[in-house]
Amino acid sequence: MSVAKQFGDNLSRLREQAGITQEDLAFRASLHRTEIGLLERGGRIPRIDTLAKLAGALEVEPGALFKGIRWESGDVRLGRFKAAGRG
């Protein structure tokens, strides 16, 4: 699973639910409009400050942007990202 892709899907879905364009979201979050496109396509993972700006601009909790993203810690083996809801 690609964390960047899942994050981008979540961002796109939440933006569309808010009924705003990428340009509107960029303005509200004080980001460049091309940054929104990169994030939605999974071409980039946001920094924590960018995450906070996006959540605020969308008026959602930051956790909403992590839907379907879950970290599985490791015991003997290394941890890894795992699709949420799968065994």
Q: Which domain holds residue 39?
A: 3-83
The pLDDT mean for the chain works out to 92
**Beta strand segments in 1-87, E:** 69-72, 80-83
> pLDDT for 48-68, tens place per residue?
999 999 999 999 999 999 999
Q: Tokens 């959602």 identify what position?
A: 60
For residue 41, give the CATH number of its domain: 1.10.260.40
Predicted TM-score (pTM) of this structure: 0.83
Give yes or no for a contact between 72 and 81, defined as CB atoms under 8 angstroms apart.
yes
Tally the domains of the chain: 1
